[in-house]
Structure 1
C-alpha cells in the first residue's frame, strides 16, 4: 500500500524542493519521486543519457502490464533561482497557505500532485485494470537533448506504448481549471549573415554595404503574412530579435551584418518549409548570405478525443470550471511526446514560474491532486 508520505502532495513537493536540481544538476530529486513510486509497487528504471561522467538523469516507472495504459510525464529540473527571494528557494517554506520554492509551479508541484493522485488511486483500487507509467526527466529546462526524447526512444524499442500521456506543466494563467493545452506552436530560430566589403563611408563605390540588403531582407520577411491561423492555432509570428554589425565607428561601412529572428509557427507549417522560405527570400537579395536555422520543436495538435474529454470532465467536477482547449505559449516536452502518443498538458497556475518567490497555494496542490485522481478514475472506467 502507498505510504501517507506519497499520498500527500505538499510533503512530497517539499522534499522535491529541498533538492537543488538546477539544470543540469539532479541533487536527488528523481530519487525522491522514485522512492514514492517504489512504495506503490512501481518498477523503476533510471535512464541516464548523454556524454561524460555526469550524464543527464531520467526516470521511467511502470505499474501493471494491462490495458489501457496511461502515462504521466514531467521534469524535476528547475531554472536558477536568482537573487532577492523572501524565503530560501530550496527550503519549501510554507507561509500563509502558500509554499515557496524554485519549481513549485514549474513543475515539481505538478509531479508531486501526479504521484500523490496515483498513490490514492492505487490505494483505493489495488487491482485496477491497465497500467500507469511515469516519465520524468532532469533535462527540460536545459538543452533538452538527453531527457524526454531519448527516454521515448528507449520506450519505443521495448514496446512501451502508452495510450495517452498527461504532462503536468503549469498551464493555467490565473486559476486552476482555466486551460488544457492540446497542442503547441513550433519554434524556429534563424541567423542571417550578409557579407560585404568594408570601406570608408565617403567612398561607397569602393565598398559593399551588407546592411542595405539585410534591411531589404528583413522588410520582406516581416511584411509577409505567414498565415491567418485556424481553429486551434493563432497566426504564426515572425519576430526579429537582434540586428548587429559590430561597428563602433561612424565613418566605416562594415564588412558584415547579421540578424537573428524567431518564428513561432502553427501546424500549417513545418521547420523544413519555413527554412526553405527563409533561404529563398535571403537569396533573392543577397546570394552570398548564409542562413543558419535551428528548429527546437515542430507544431503539434492532439485532436480532442475521449481522453481529453475525460480530463476536462475531471477538472470541471473538482473546480466547477470548464477548461478552454488551447495551443498557445512556449514549447514543452510535449513536442517530443506527441510523436509517440496523444498528449495533453494540465497543471498548476503558472503566474510565478521562473520568477523570484515562485509559489503555489497548498489548496491548489490538493485540488490538482483530486483532479488527477478523478481523471485516472475516468480513464480506467471507475466512474
Structure 2
C-alpha cells in the first residue's frame, strides 16, 4: 500500500496535535485581554510572538495612537498593541488571517472559572474559547502541520492579531487597513462553524447623551433642575424614532434562523445612569443608545437623524446643557464575497464535513470591524470560526470543542496549501 501524501499526513497530524492545542488555549485563556479596559494586549503579544517566530514568521507590533481610541468616559487603559506576522512563502499572493485578541469581560453566572481552561464532558470552557482565542489556536495547529511536512503553499499567510473588536472606537484592524498594512484578501475568523457564505453586516454606533441640570437638596429644590426629568422628552423622542427606524428593511439576505423575517435597522436605548440618593436632585443623567444601520444607509444621514431627534426634544428643556459623544462605531460590510470564496467553501467542507449544497449566503444585523477594512479598499473578506448557536459566546460558560478546533485547523491548512485542489464549481 502506498504512503499517504504529505498533505494527508498533515491532516492526520492535526488530529494527533490535540494536547498542544489544549495547552495553547489554556495559556491564552489565562491571559486577561478583556475589553474594557483592554490592558492585556502587550502581554498577549509577548505570549504569541515566540510561537510565530518558531513557525518561521517575522512579527511587528503596531500601536494604535492613544488619541484615536480613548474616550472621555470609558474605563480603557493600556497600549493598543497589534501584531502582524508574515514572511512564510512571501513570494506568493498574500492572504490575511484576521483574529481579535480581546474578549468581553467574564460577567456573572459561570459554573467554572472563566479565565482558565476547564475540560468537561468534551467541552473546553473559558472566556474567549470560541470568541475567538480558540481560532488562533486552530491557525497555529494548521501552520505547525504545514511546517512539519514542508507543504507547498497557494498563498503567503499573514496573521493579524488585533485589538478592540469588542466595542472600541478605533479597532486595531481599522488602523492597519487605513495605514496600508493590508494587501490581500482576508479570512475573518470572527464567525461560526457553519456552512455560511458571508453576505455582509450592519454598521453600529454607540452614542452617549449627557444631560446636565442643577443639584440641590430634594427637600428644598429651589433653583434645582432635575437632569433625569429633563431627559424624559429625549427618551420619548428616541422611542418614537425607534419604531420609525425599525420599518427600514435591508436587501441583505437574512439568516436562516430568522425564518423569513427580514433584516431591519435597529435603535436601542441600551443604558441609563443618573442620580445617587433620595435626598439629592440629580445634576447629570446619561443615556447610551445603539443604532444598527444597514449598508443602504449612510453614517452621515443616520447621525443627522439622531442629532435632529435629540435637538428637537431638548429645545424646550430647562436643562443647563446637553452633549453627545460617539464612543463606538463599526462601519457596515456590503457584499464581501470574491473569487476565492469557492476555495474557502471547499476547505470548510474538508475540515467540518459540510456538503456543498449546505452552503447558503446570509448577512447579519450584528456588526464587524471589517467594515473599516472594506472602506480602506480591501473588498474580499470570507468568514469562518468556531461560533455555534449553543456555545454561549458573550455569556457565562462559553465553550468550544477539540473537534471544532481540529476541524477549523484542517480547513485553514487546506485553504493555504497548494496540494489542495478542489473541483471548481458554482459559488
What TM-score do you get using the length of structure 2 for normalisation?
0.71
Alignment of 1:161 onto 2:193: no
Residues in 2 aligned to 1:238 and 1:327: alpha-carbon distance in whole angstroms: 18
The alpha-carbon distance between structure 1 residues 367 and 242, as it changes in their structure 2 partners (threshold 3 A), is closer
Counterpart of 1:17 in structure 2 is 26
Counterpart of 2:58 in structure 1 is 43
Alignment of 1:237 onto 2:266: yes
Counterpart of 1:346 in structure 2 is 384
Contact kept in structure 2, 1:242 and 1:260, CA below 8 Å? yes
| Deviation of the 1:182 alpha carbon | 4.1
SS of alignment partner, residue 138 of structure 2: helix
Moved more, 241-250 or 8-17: 241-250
SS of alignment partner, residue 30 of structure 1: helix
Contact kept in structure 2, 1:85 and 1:357, CA below 8 Å? yes
| Deviation of the 1:260 alpha carbon | 3.5
1:253-298: per-residue Cα shift (whole Å, max 9, x none)? 9887664321111101232211111222333343377451415111
The alpha-carbon distance between structure 1 residues 338 and 9, as it changes in their structure 2 partners (threshold 3 A), is farther
Residues in 1 aligned to 2:135 and 2:264: alpha-carbon distance in whole angstroms: 30
Counterpart of 2:70 in structure 1 is none
Contact kept in structure 2, 1:182 and 1:301, CA below 8 Å? yes
Residues in 2 aligned to 1:51 and 1:256: alpha-carbon distance in whole angstroms: 27
Residues in 1 aligned to 2:322 and 2:125: alpha-carbon distance in whole angstroms: 47
Instruction: Name stretches of at least 5 consecutive residues in structure 2 with no aligned partner.
Output: 1-5, 34-38, 68-76, 219-223, 255-262
Alignment of 1:375 onto 2:415: yes
Counterpart of 1:190 in structure 2 is 207
Moved more, 260-269 or 21-30: 21-30
Counterpart of 1:261 in structure 2 is 289
The alpha-carbon distance between structure 1 residues 280 and 363, as it changes in their structure 2 partners (threshold 3 A), is same
The alpha-carbon distance between structure 1 residues 331 and 187, as it changes in their structure 2 partners (threshold 3 A), is same
SS of alignment partner, residue 103 of structure 1: coil
Residues in 2 aligned to 1:40 and 1:254: alpha-carbon distance in whole angstroms: 58
Contact kept in structure 2, 1:9 and 1:369, CA below 8 Å? no
What TM-score do you get using the length of structure 1 for normalisation?
0.78
Residues in 1 aligned to 2:21 and 2:195: alpha-carbon distance in whole angstroms: 25
Contact kept in structure 2, 1:189 and 1:260, CA below 8 Å? yes
| Deviation of the 1:64 alpha carbon | 2.5
1:1-383 alignment, distance < 5 Å? 8=17, 11-19=20-28, 20-23=30-33, 24-26=39-41, 28-50=43-65, 55-62=79-86, 63-82=88-107, 85-124=110-149, 126-141=151-166, 143=168, 145=170, 147-154=172-179, 156=180, 160-162=182-184, 164-169=185-190, 171-172=191-192, 176-192=193-209, 210=230, 213-214=233-234, 216-225=236-245, 227-232=248-253, 234-242=263-271, 246=275, 259-287=287-315, 290=322, 292-294=324-326, 295-317=328-350, 318-321=352-355, 322-328=358-364, 330-340=366-376, 341=378, 342-350=380-388, 351-377=391-417
Instruction: Name stretches of at least 5 consecutive residues in structure 1 with no aligned partner.
Output: 201-205
Contact kept in structure 1, 2:210 and 2:287, CA below 8 Å? yes
| Deviation of the 1:327 alpha carbon | 2.6
Counterpart of 2:74 in structure 1 is none
**Cα root mean square deviation, aligned:** 4.1
Moved more, 349-358 or 130-139: 349-358
